Structure 1
Amino acid sequence: MTWTSRARRSLVAGLLAMTVVGAGAACGGGSGDGDQDQTLRVGMPIRMLSVDPHGTAISDRSTLTLALHLFDPLVASSDGEITGRLAESWENVNDTTTRFTLRQGVTFHDGSPLTSADVKASLDRLFAASTALAPLFATIEEVKAPDEQTVEIITSRATGSLLTNLSMAYIGSKAQIESGEIESRPVGTGAFKLEDFRSGERAHMVANESYWDGAPKYERLEFQEISEDAARLTALRTGEIDVTYALPPDQLSQVRGFDQVTVESGPSATFYVIWLNNARKPLDDPKVRQALWHAVDFSSIQENLFGESAVLAKAPVPQPVFGAAQLPGYTYDPQRARQLLAEAGYPNGFSTSIQWSANCCANIRPLVQSILSAWKEVGVNVEMQEKEAGQWLDDLLALDWDMNIQDGVVVTQDAEFVLGRLYTCAAKRLGYCNEEYDRVIADASAELDPQERQRKLQRAQEILWADAPGAWPFELTASAAWRDRVSGFGPPPTNVPDFRGVSLN
């Protein structure tokens, strides 16, 4: 059965349920109308890659979304505040040792108790993996489990962002890690249990009635990948899905006209970035990189393509994020761009290419076309390379590209998540290396005073802005839409939506 036919059949079942009020809703675990009414269906705008909380795709927002509902970290970070999750409390033993006391009575979905051995196995696995999150944990030297309820994390130096970074470290079962089952059939401690996962298609979950933080208020959570915008919005309008997010900017007004649908927007930690491969000529020359930025009228692109859905960026991280700087923008100046290219030895321009993921983000193709048209005016001819998501990610990590455009998100809402993870010499993410930048970001990472740490993070952004290893044109607005039967949801500022507190009316 196709997903569309299944969803339509669900709607019929829901209508039938109205004629026998309460006939099946009180029966837990059955296959009657109550089950249909208690299913939240989410239209995912991006490809779902994996359910492995420590795998290569864990930095992808779809994987983070699934992990959020299946697992828990030791602590959570939101709006600069740290709250305990699996850790009931923690203390700084000294500048390099943090001791966590685990919450009592937490169990995995298979009924086995959470112990410090599970935490140690999970953190060891995550820290050893070559993922995009690895730089977050570079200062961690050892994880100890002195008893079943205690975990100690030892770092090589003081690390001001340790707790924030640990909010990205989801805890799985040691037994599953050893068996390898965590890669495809994971058992977590989260609010939902995985029932079925098909990469690139769907993830079905059922409520964890024994969840330590209180059982969800509905029975099933179904994520359906619908990356094509028109199909996703049609599914929302007809009721085939209950909620979606990351709405296409040019269709916001249309969605606001849907019956029984609420649309909201708000500030976000999401942004567009154009990376330039600093290891390849001529992009190794700062003058060439600065020229590319001066050549594009990003203000006009923002107005014509995005409207209320984006604002011009003022720093390499969005303004709502802790540590964000406010820097003067690169002015649109084609003459200056040509001058810089000539000074770099390219008076007639050059040819190169730009890649992006096929399921990247809103308005990606017209955005790329607008940028490339501006670059052509100053003699830079660029081949467009749209790639399947998996191939794009492989090439990105292998530095097998000239230019790369994508959206990014500061999931922890702390600037170091981006600055310390992507742009250091050790990160090797875009061939960029500046030793002064490395010193500043290392000092910021070791700083325990929030105000001083913020100052150092802002200094690091000043260096990036001047070096222009890439261009940061826009901050995006978070948007979401949901049908009237959904309550307790809002636009996710990090594009990692949280459905754990949702109710179905």
Structure 2
Amino acid sequence: MRRYLLGAVAMAAAVTFGAPAVLAQPAQNTIRWFSDTEPANMSPYFNSTREGVIFGFHVWDAPLYRNLRTGEYENHLAESVRIVDDTTIELRIRQGIVAHNGDTVDARDVVATVEFALDPANQVTNGGRARWLAGAELVDNHTVRLRTPAPFGPWQEYLTTLLIIPRASLATGREGMGRNPIGTGPYRVTELSAGQRIVFERFDRYFGGAKGQPEVERLVFRRVPEANTRVAELLTGGVDWVWRVTPDQARNLQRRRGVTVASGGTVRFHYLQMDAAGRSGEQDNPMRDIRVRQAINHAIDRAGIVRNLVGEGSDPLNTPCHPDQFGCVQEGITRYDYDPARARALLAEAGFPNGFTVNIMGYRERPWAEAIIGNLRAVGITANLQWQQYDAYQRATREGQVRLAYGSWGSTSLFDVANSTSYFFRGSTDDMTRDPEVMALLERGDNNTDPAARREAYTAAMRRITEQAYWAPLWTFPLTYAFHSQLEFAPTADEVPRFYSARWRR
């Protein structure tokens, strides 16, 4: 298994002029953090938002944990892992693990979680955490065997996101888990006021494991949609930590004493999905024509948008995956340079000399979407923006209602294309292409433990996807944070801030 060096990449800049008007929360040992999105359901199996992923790391635990400094996989809920055969993984679960409700957690909770996630009746919306499994078998109360339908190459990576939910919590179902989330993690949820705030308190009975014991006693989360409002709150002492800071905001904040600005890498990328499969209707659907898809690719000035809007740390993208992920092969793929004249010629060849009108749906980084719309307009394509919350966006794309989707994907912070390219191109409801050749190649790559064989299959898949211009990959996603300078916080390479590793300077 490939090892990834995931050490923090931080370029911190302390500042020089006026400090925040109100001091932060070191005396209360609290971190207040604002973000622009709040998951509709707190359960990690019923939301796919990045904020939900972060909540998951703090409220729940998985069998394995990826050490960000070494790239190694470490035992966490599991005290040992053993490969029984090509499709069977045996986990020995630590004894003495206590859930937030006081229940003891053991192998029975692992089985219950897997069975719950795989049961179609439960309609989990983030099934990728467990979809790679065929089932789980209880050996004894501390031993469980996980079964895969075929050999599965990135099994260790996926065991870092298989969050285990106590049986009593699972029994309450989707709504119960959303209202009263219960895990084993370093923080427990003590207040959940949807649309207002979520409070997390340090769990004093936490077992530690690979995460260690947290120093900060309390986390307070609020959804604040406007980026300027979040930054203003930071400067006036209303919040301690914000992220998704724009390049202009970062430059301004770097001149403020008492604020630290830091950048970290991610495996997130942005893309345009096109309805090549005709799920939104085959007649009068330009996305069915490869020449139209090629034209859209040529119409977008990726480098210009990266330079002027996305900012430092981002790179134009040519594949439906992040280049740091295993299997995201860049050799031999078809690349589409920015060429508006070529885009117009392709549209004319496809029967659209005067362009056409299409709806484009999106849900985050609106200024970037508007820049893309401007590029499309320049070659004759009128793209009407439909702006949605993520849940509505996801529902519409999965139900085949969208012809052009502007999206962003963080791969649940997994460094493997099994959770990026395969997620979108293996025939699920998220697949707007439905190419049997691509599906077969990705299945071959996913269901193999030989890295060379996996890479060979993924290489062929990337070449087919880019040749057919099924997507318009856009750019990788840098992440800039701003926080009170008394807070010791290290950005990571996977877009998951570890508040349980942060501390206030005394």
Structure 2-normalised TM-score?
Answer: 0.87
| Aligned: 1:285 with 2:289 | yes
C-alpha distance in 1 between matches for 2:247 and 2:40 = 25
Distance in 1 (alpha carbons) for counterparts of 2:203 and 2:213: 6
The secondary structure found in structure 2 opposite 1:51 is coil
- Indicate conservation of the 8 Å contact 1:96/1:157, yes or no: yes
**Does structure 1 conserve the Cα–Cα contact (< 8 Å) formed by 2:270 and 2:407?**
yes
Cα distance in 1, alignment partners of residues 108 and 309 from structure 2: 51
Partner of 1:248: 246
Q: Which amino acid aligns with 1:348?
A: N
Equivalent of 1:351 in 357, 378, 383: 357
Q: Structure 1 residue 229: deviation in Å?
A: 0.6
The alpha-carbon deviation at position 236 of structure 1 amounts to 1.5
Q: Is the 8 A contact 1:416 1:457 kept in 2?
A: no
Q: CA deviation at 1:320?
A: 2.4
- Measure the CA separation in 2 of the matches of 1:68 and 1:135: 16
Would you say 1:95 and 2:99 are equivalent positions? Answer: no
CA offset digits 1:347-397 (Å, max 9, x no partner): 33221111112xx13xx23x2232222222322111111123433232232
Is the CA contact (8 Å cut-off) linking 2:43 and 2:178 kept in structure 1?
Answer: yes
1:326-363 C-alpha deviation (Å, 9 max, x unpaired): 24631122222222223323233221111112xx13xx
Q: Map of 1:309-328 to 2, 5 A cutoff?
A: 309-326=313-330, 327=333
* Structure 1 residues 99 and 460: alpha-carbon distance in aligned structure 2, compared to 1, 3 A threshold: same
1:107 CA drift (Å):
0.8
CA distance in 2, matches of 1:51, 1:133: 12
Once the two structures are superposed, the pairs formed by residues 326-345 of structure 1 within 5 Å of their partners are 326=330, 327=333, 329-345=335-351
Q: 1:336 to 1:322 in 2, by over 3 A?
A: same
In the alignment, structure 1 residue 269 sits paired with structure 2 residue 275: no
**Alpha carbons 1:321, 1:413 under 8 Å: kept:** yes
- Which residue number in structure 1 is paired with residue 454 of structure 2? 453
Deviation at 1:218, TM superposition (A): 2.1
Instruction: Tell me which of 183, 189, 198 is aligned to 2:193.
Output: 198
Distance 1:379 1:293 in 2: 14
Residue 171 of structure 1, CA deviation: 0.9
Residues 464, 299 of structure 1: CA spacing in aligned structure 2 closer, same or farther, 3 A cutoff? same
Q: 1:154 aligns with which of 143, 147, 154?
A: 147
- Equivalent residues in 2 for 1:47-62 (5 A)? 47-55=38-46, 57=47, 59-62=48-51
Any conservation in 2 of the 1:48–1:199 contact (CA below 8 Å)?
A: no
Letter in 1 for 2:116: R
Contact 1:96 1:159 in 2 (8 A): yes
Shift of 1:282: 1.4
Residues in 1 aligned to 2:132 and 2:410: alpha-carbon distance in whole angstroms: 23
Q: TM-score, normalised by structure 1?
A: 0.87
Give the match's secondary structure for 1:251: helix
User: For residues 310-335 of structure 1, what are the alpha-carbon distances to aligned partners after superposition, in whole Å with 9 as ceiling and x for unaligned?
Assistant: 22114222222222222463112222
* Residue 329 to residue 248, structure 1, CA distance change in 2 (3 Å): same
Partner of 2:55: helix, strand, or coil?
A: helix
Residue number among 168, 181, 187 corresponding to 1:186 in the alignment? 181
User: 1:309 Cα shift?
Assistant: 4.6
Alpha-carbon distance in structure 2 between the residues aligned to 1:453 and 1:390: 33
8 Å CA contact 1:45–1:245 kept in 2: the answer is no
Whether 2:61 is the aligned partner of 1:72: answer yes
CA 38–135 in structure 1, closer or farther in 2 if over 3 Å, else same: closer
Match of 1:504 in 2: 504
Q: Which residue, 96, 111, 120 being the options, matches 2:111?
A: 120
Cα distance in 1 between the residues matched to 2:458 and 2:504: 42
The offset of 1:135, in angstroms, is 5.0
Counterpart secondary structure, 2:428: coil
CA distance in 1, matches of 2:495, 2:196: 19
Amino acid in structure 2 at the alignment position of 1:42: W
Partner in structure 1 of residue 18 of structure 2: none
**Structure 1 CA distance, aligned partners of 2:318 and 2:275?**
22
Matched to 1:311, the amino acid is D
2:167 aligns with one of 167, 171, 174 = 174
What does residue 300 of structure 1 align with?
304
State the one-letter code of the partner of 2:90: R
Gaps of 5+ in 2: 1-20
Identity fraction in percent? 25
Distance in 2 (CA, whole Å) between partners of 1:328 and 1:260 is 47
- What are the within-5 Å matches in structure 2 for residues 300-449 of structure 1? 300-326=304-330, 327=333, 329-357=335-363, 360-361=364-365, 364-365=366-367, 367-410=368-411, 411-424=413-426, 426-449=427-450
Deviation at 1:419, TM superposition (A): 1.4
SS at match of 1:373: helix
Tell me, yes or no, if the aligned pair for 1:133 and 1:421 is still in contact at 8 Å. no
Cα displacement string for residues 280-315 of structure 1 (whole angstroms, at most 9, x for unaligned residues): 411122221111111222222222223315221142
2:135 matched residue in structure 1: 142
Deviations 1:13-55 (A, max 9, x none): x79xxxxxxxxxxxxxxxxx98x52111112232333211221
Q: Evaluate the alpha carbon distance shift between residue 390 and residue 137 of structure 1 in structure 2; reply closer, same or farther with a 3 A threshold.
A: closer
> Gaps spanning 5+ residues in structure 1: where?
1-10, 16-32
Tell me which residue corresponds to 1:29: none
For the pair 1:45 / 2:36, whether they are aligned, the reply is yes
C-alpha deviation, 1:234, in angstroms? 1.3
Q: Are 1:486 and 1:503, in contact at CA under 8 Å, matched by a contact in 2?
A: yes
The amino acid across from 2:502 in the alignment is V
Aligned to 1:24: none
Rate the CA distance shift 1:434–1:135 in 2: closer, same or farther, 3 A: farther
Indicate the SS of the match to 2:449: coil
DSSP-derived class of the 2:272 partner: strand
Amino acid at match of 1:111: G
Deviations 1:82-110 (A, max 9, x none): 22221111111110111100012111112
In the alignment, structure 1 residue 216 sits paired with structure 2 residue 207 = no
Read off the aligned partner of 1:420 and give its amino acid letter.
S
Are 1:267 and 1:493, in contact at CA under 8 Å, matched by a contact in 2? Answer: yes
Higher relative contact order (CA 8 A, sep 6+): 2
Rounded to whole Å, the distance in 1 between the matches of 2:256 and 2:275 is 43
SS in 2 for 1:311: coil
